[in-house]
């Protein structure tokens, strides 16, 4: 019946700050849909940003900045991604550590976005 994920909404407190973080730190491409919605592209899937003080409907029952726990796949070796984070002064909360991903074993680094969302950046260990 279902075949994949089109987009996931991330509720943020400051759109410009979130766009800067996701594009500069994580390298996501930015697509401005309109003044209230921005898509951050992950291949053919988007993280769609909604700012808390905008009037967009419908939304989840309790849109809350900082409530997301998301695992993203990384193309770079995690040692290179860690160097990138270090150069930008981004704190790593945990890692690298071994975890289990949707398709097998992964190695992960954990960090937080400006709203406190937990981001796990992973790479298969095969």
Specify burial of residue 116 (Cβ count, 10 A radius: 0-12, 13-18, 19+). exposed
How much of the chain is helix, strand and coil, in % rounded to 5? 15, 40, 40
Catalytically active residues, by annotation: 120
Which DSSP letter does residue 89 get? T
Contacts of 28 (CB under 8 A, 6+ apart): 22, 40, 41, 42, 47
Distance CA 115, CA 125 (A): 29
Distance CA 99, CA 106 (A): 5
């Amino acid at each position: 019946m279902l075949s994949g994920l089109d987009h996931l909404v991330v509720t943020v407190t400051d759109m410009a700050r979130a766009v800067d973080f996701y594009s500069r730190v994580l390298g996501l491409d930015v697509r401005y849909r309109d003044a209230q919605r921005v898509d951050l592209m992950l291949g053919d899937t988007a993280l769609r940003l909604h700012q808390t003080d905008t009037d967009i409907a419908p939304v989840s029952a309790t849109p809350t900045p900082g409530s997301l726990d998301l695992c993203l796949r990384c193309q770079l070796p995690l040692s290179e991604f860690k160097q990138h984070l270090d150069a930008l002064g981004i704190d790593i909360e945990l890692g690298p550590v071994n975890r289990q991903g949707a398709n097998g074993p992964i190695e992960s680094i954990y960090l937080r976005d400006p709203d406190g969302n937990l981001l796990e950046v992973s790479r298969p260990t095969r």
